[in-house]
């Protein structure tokens, strides 16, 4: 889902989002489909926004920079089998003018990805096409072998969308909606690496 404006990237606070279901691909899912040591590491820069609004208390995340470091430590463990590492370029408070759901474009990292954390939201998270929103009160359905903490899993899931991956119905897969699963298949790794390589190359040119 992408919502664009001339000067601001927008996201709908308090609005229920319905993400389209996708048919299950005819392929098996394996937790470690490739040996990570065989894949050259691709590093993707990420700017983290801790959202705050004086007008809308539901926006105000209580996550700290230390929390973000821990979250991305777990995110990178999820993505390690794909040879992809997300490097937090900076973490800072981003103020939401008017409390109405506008993320100033001047705060967005160019040639990288942007992840924003919010306190309360209709969904656990979503990818807007320009940035990810993750709710710091996210809740997930537990599945066998799944991750034991929602926020890193939701973050890793939304970053998967940023790297070109779509939803899957296999509940143990990272791209399943609303579960603790975090496996990736070879096709997903290939697609994600193709997108990650573009971000890595753009970052290297800065």
Q: 26 in a domain, yes or no?
A: no
Q: 171 in a domain, yes or no?
A: yes
| Position 31 confidence tier, pLDDT thresholds 50, 70, 90 | very low
Cα gap 206→24, rounded to integer Å: 39
What values do phi and psi take at 69, rounded to 5? -60, -45
Query: Does pLDDT of 101 surpass 80?
Result: no
Residues 23-31: what's their mean pLDDT?
37
Beta bridge partners of 189: none
What is the residue range of 102's domain? 39-204
Structure tokens at 80: 């390690």
What values do phi and psi take at 183, rounded to 5? -80, 160
Residues 120-136: what's their mean pLDDT?
93
Task: Supply the CATH number for residue 80's domain.
Answer: 3.40.390.10
Q: 28 in a domain, yes or no?
A: no
Percent of the chain residues past pLDDT 90, beyond the cut: 68
Q: 13 in a domain, yes or no?
A: no
Residues 176-188: what's their mean pLDDT?
97
CA 153 to chain centroid: 9
- The pLDDT tens digits of the residues spanning 40-76 come to 999 999 999 999 998 889 999 999 999 999 999 999 9
Percent of the chain residues past pLDDT 70, beyond the cut: 79
Q: 24 in a domain, yes or no?
A: no
Beta bridge partners of 126: 133
Query: Does pLDDT of 6 surpass 80?
Result: no
Q: 190 in a domain, yes or no?
A: yes
Bigger pLDDT: 68 vs 122: 68
Could you tell me if 64 and 84 are in contact, meaning their C-beta atoms sit under 8 angstroms apart? no
Reduce the DSSP state of residue 95 to 3 states and report it: strand
Q: 115 in a domain, yes or no?
A: yes
Q: 27 in a domain, yes or no?
A: no
Domain count, the chain: 1
| Position 20 confidence tier, pLDDT thresholds 50, 70, 90 | very low
- Tell me what the pLDDT averaged over the chain comes to: 84
């Amino acid at each position: 889902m992408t919502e664009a404006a001339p000067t601001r990237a927008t996201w709908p606070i308090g609005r229920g989002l319905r993400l389209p279901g996708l048919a299950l691909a005819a392929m098996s899912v394996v937790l470690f489909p490739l040996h990570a040591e065989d894949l050259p590491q691709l590093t993707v820069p990420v700017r983290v926004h801790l959202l705050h609004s004086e007008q809308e208390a539901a926006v105000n995340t209580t996550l700290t920079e230390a929390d973000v470091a821990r979250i991305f430590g777990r995110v990178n463990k999820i993505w390690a089998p794909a040879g992809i590492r997300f490097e937090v370029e900076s973490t800072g408070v981003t103020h939401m003018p008017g409390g109405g759901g506008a993320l100033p474009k001047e705060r967005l990292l160019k040639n990288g990805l942007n992840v924003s954390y919010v306190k309360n939201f209709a969904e656990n998270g979503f990818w807007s096409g320009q940035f990810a929103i993750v709710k710091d009160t996210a809740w997930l359905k537990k599945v066998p072998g799944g991750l034991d903490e929602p926020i890193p899993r939701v973050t890793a899931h939304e970053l998967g969308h940023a790297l070109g991956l779509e939803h899957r119905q296999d509940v143990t897969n990272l791209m399943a909606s609303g579960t603790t699963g975090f496996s990736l298949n070879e096709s997903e790794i290939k697609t994600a690496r193709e997108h990650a390589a573009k971000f890595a190359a753009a970052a290297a040119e800065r």
